[in-house]
A and B are shown apart, each in its own frame.
Chain A
Amino acid sequence: MTAAPGGTADQLPRLLALVPYLLARPGVRLAEVAATFGVTEDRLRKDLNLLWVCGLPGHGPGDLIDVEFEGDTITLTEPAGVTRPLRLTVDEALALVVALRALAETPGLVERDAVDRALAKVEQAAGAAAGPAHRVEVSVEGEDRVLPVVRTALAERRRLHLSYYVPGRDETTERDVDPVRLLLVQGRSYLEAWCRRAEGVRLFRLDRVADLQVLDAPAEPPVDLEPRELSEGLFRPSPDDLLVTLALRPGAAWVADYHPCESVVEQDDGGLVVTLRARDTSWVRRLVLRLGEQGQVLAPRELADAVRADARAALRAYEG
């Protein structure tokens, strides 16, 4: 459906849900209804005004949908036969069923029993519309070894000790963190926490947690922490980070999929020239080593030299 927002394609489904919604909640506050339906109170009043002139054939006073206002509350007294919401469409059933199943199948994330029961009830209510939902699957790495411990720390607001692997430095670090949130983004789980060692908010990928303990100390993240905006992706490189230009042969083009690049230019041979920001040069050195013959540092020069030196040092272990 490609209707303009606010057009009939938006408004009619809203009205068909609004009537049974109000019927089930006598005396509900106008502001609450507007918030639930994601419209302004002004828009909601226009909706109610429209309902008020609709009804059963004949359209006499007793046939019309009727709404009573009292203070800032609404009571629907006559639904004109619209007593239940419309069934879920295939798209709606799919969105809910696949989401519930993804939660249920992520080990250690939530109480599976409750999700399974909710899933069964939603599938039952959706009926045949839930059929195509079985053709869509979302698999999230749950890290069932680590997740339950992180959930306990979050629920009890306790500090955590982490042994955490930092791939850029190829070492496991020890630190105490105050958990803030658990994020499941792009198929991976992350702990967002105030790192007491770095004195800053850090994201910890749970598959890199080598070990962890819940400490007795309470978690005390700074009170004025701004929650990280998730809509733009988890990692936003800083303009202060080193700008690196890489030439990628076709076999290394996956780098542009996995790392946020500032520019990507396709080459005639199917390769790419990309620029990306790196906070940590050791991370890029390791990335380029890993690409082997498929990648090359074009700039800066010092980084290209460092990779060459790394490769020569490693060669000595094989040839020396």
Chain B
Amino acid sequence: MVFMPSSLAASDVPTQGPARPRTGDTPSPPGHPPGAGPQANVAGVSAKKTERLLNLVICLLATRRFLGVQEIRQAVPGYEQGTEEAFRRMFERDKEELRELGIPLETGTSSAVHDDEPGYRIARRDYELPDIVLEPDEAAALGLAARLWQSAPLAGATGRALLKLQAAGVEPGAAPAALEPRVAASEPSFEGCLAAVRDGRAVTFSYRTSGSATPTDRHVEPWGVVSWHGRWYLVGHDTDRGAARVFRLSRMVGTVTPVGPAGAVVPPDGLDLRAMVARKAVDEPRSTARVALRPGAGWELRREATSSATDPDRPDWTVVDIGFADPERLADRVTGYGADAVVLAPPQARAAVVRRLRALAQPQPAPVTSGARTGAP
């Protein structure tokens, strides 16, 4: 910790004469913290721009009436030099930069502006974060939520949001150290999907469906993004198929491309995004299968059994009834237990298992591959 003289008080600052030196212009004034003088600032151009923009924000926040462009040029240091044209270009870029940061620039005319040009101001009620006071248990919840996102862009946005809340006086509580909720979003298409949903903007992307060799181009009006059981899905209206569809982000090839204007997509009312994804991921059981299980085996099947009894044909074995939607999916699960689980009924599920086992039992199975296409993982 560098000790700093306790002298940088208002009384030590020149009380008359010119304003304090601008960034990068002159050495530190006396009494300034060591190592913090303007000469130490190597990023001089960037610092000058930050200084100009900060002065611009302060100026536009302070004014009640709209300030004309020339008034702004006189009031904000950094605009005075150069030609009128250079100033105009700089001012346009600065306005754009402030808007990108979410600073609400209001345009209008006031009596002091004599030409037709609009004037500018920042309305405090649009700029300022409203009061927010959190109880200790609420602050602890906020602290825990702030640790949830594991990857950009949401982790970065959380950090910036937290700083604003802290600047409003909130102290995020210490979340319990023994609890680590983490949600990752590493799919290359995530950022594009999130932006499309946020902006209400249609997208197109290349999508590989389960079991198909070549990806196809899809056009979607996105309604929402859902993380369900650790996987991200895009829910929306597929304009080619004219119906609602759910897409796995991991099956999108590359990134998504926005098409059309922002705000064009309005999700229907009463949408239950989570239910739509859950329906896609898990089929409602429509039939019941009877499966015999060796003692101790098949805990996951036993757990969802609707009824359970001893097997009359095999001592110690258990017979369970399990709901299923697709006999092929049921056969996948049961085949995984090998000789420890046997489907007794229905016949089509039993046949599906036997077909799998015969393929697996082939002495020399035919190679399932036919040459590599790409080497990329």
Contact = CB atoms under 8 A, between A and B. Distances in A.
Contacts of B298: 170
B87 interface: no
B83 interface: no
A257 B250 contact: yes
A20 B296 contact: no
A247 interface: yes
Given A14-B163, A85-B167, A265 B197 contact: no
B33 A311 contact: no
B138 A117 contact: yes
Contact of A271 (B225, B250, B368): B368
A92 B157 contact: yes
A94 B62 contact: no
Interface stretch (B110-118, B179-187, B282-290, B319-327): B179-187
B243 interface: no
A181 interface: yes
A294 B170 CA distance: 55
Interface string B1-21: 111111111100111100111
A96 B373 CA distance: 42
Interface in A48-68: 48-61, 64, 66-68
Interface string B113-144: 00000000000101111111111011111101
A118 B161 contact: no
A100 B35 CA distance: 41
A137 B232 CA distance: 10
B138 A181 contact: no
A61 B161 contact: no
B179 A16 contact: no
A136 interface: yes
B101 A13 contact: yes
A30 B61 CA distance: 28
Contacts of A60: 19
Given A109-B181, A118-B138, A170-B297, A20 B159 contact: no
21 contacts: A9-B101, A49-B36, A52-B20, A57-B59, A64-B20, A72-B4, A87-B127, A89-B157, A115-B138, A172-B299, A181-B179, A183-B180, A184-B182, A247-B367, A247-B369, A253-B210, A269-B213, A269-B370, A286-B336, A308-B361, A308-B362
Contacts of B2: 41, 72
A319 B350 CA distance: 11
Given A16-B54, A68-B8, A136-B226, A167 B129 contact: no
Contacts of A269: 213, 369-370
A239 B100 CA distance: 47
Given A15-B54, A55-B58, A135 B197 contact: yes
B160 A13 contact: yes
B309 interface: no
B69 to A, nearest CB: 14
A266 interface: yes
A126 B299 CA distance: 47
Interface residues of B, number: 162
A17 interface: yes
Given A89-B102, A96-B161, A121-B134, A46 B41 contact: yes
B75 A57 contact: yes
A209 B214 CA distance: 40
B28 to A, nearest CB: 8
A117 B360 contact: no
B135 A117 contact: yes
A96 to B, nearest CB: 5
Q: Which of B28, B40, B163, B231 has the most CB of A within 10 A?
A: B163
Contacts of B354: 315, 318-319
Interface in A177-216: 179-188, 210
B370 A267 contact: yes
Given A36-B166, A92-B164, A140-B181, A135 B223 contact: yes
Nearest to B94: A8
B182 A183 contact: yes
Contact of B59 (A56, A102, A268): A56
Contacts of A70: 6
Nearest to B298: A170
B129 A69 contact: no
A129 B100 CA distance: 14
B58 A46 contact: no
B48 to A, nearest CB: 9
A69 B8 contact: yes
A285 B336 CA distance: 8
- Top 8 nearest A-B pairs (CB, nearest first) are A270-B213, A187-B230, A292-B356, A186-B230, A290-B336, A45-B36, A311-B360, A92-B161
A226 B97 CA distance: 44
Interface string B245-282: 00000100000000000000001000001100100000
B305 interface: no
A16 to B, nearest CB: 7
Contact of B299 (A118, A170, A230): A170
A266 B214 CA distance: 11
B50 A135 contact: no
A121 to B, nearest CB: 5
Contacts of B155: 95
A87 B102 contact: yes
Given A12-B101, A139-B274, A230-B180, 8 more contacts: A31-B1, A88-B129, A91-B153, A102-B148, A180-B178, A254-B210, A257-B231, A311-B357
